[in-house]
Amino acid sequence: MFCPENENLDTNDSKQVSYDFGYTYFSPNIVFRGIIDYTKSEKISGLVEPYTLIDIEGILSLFNTYEFIYEYINYKYDDIGESSDKYRITEQNINFLGFGISFDL
């Protein structure tokens, strides 16, 4: 899936392009979903930081009850010019691991 966006110039995601790729596998007792999202945002005004986002998510469901989730997110901010802010973040790496149980009532 390809999604170009163009919104208000003062928003965080004012002009960006996203590419989504996914795969789903079904069997009677196992479901696997894998999704890769790549987003590139441009600098439009002084309030908007350009960035690149890679989001990888995998979900494994067993017996329609147990769910294992892993997600990796990488934000990389492009050159936003000169700054005296020594605490400015230029790249973030986030790993998320989850487990869930669902019940039919």
46-70 residue pLDDT tens:
656 778 889 999 999 998 889 999 9
pTM for the model: 0.71
pLDDT at 7 over 60: no
Tally of domains within the chain: 1
Q: How far apart are CA 66 and CA 43, in angstroms?
A: 42
Q: How far apart are CA 43 and CA 25, in angstroms?
A: 38
Find residue 101's DSSP bridge partners: 66
**Tokens describing residue 9:** 């110039």
Which one has a higher pLDDT value, 44 or 68? 68
Find residue 58's DSSP bridge partners: 34, 70
Which one has a higher pLDDT value, 42 or 81? 42
Domain that holds residue 43: 2-101
**Tokens describing residue 44:** 């439009």
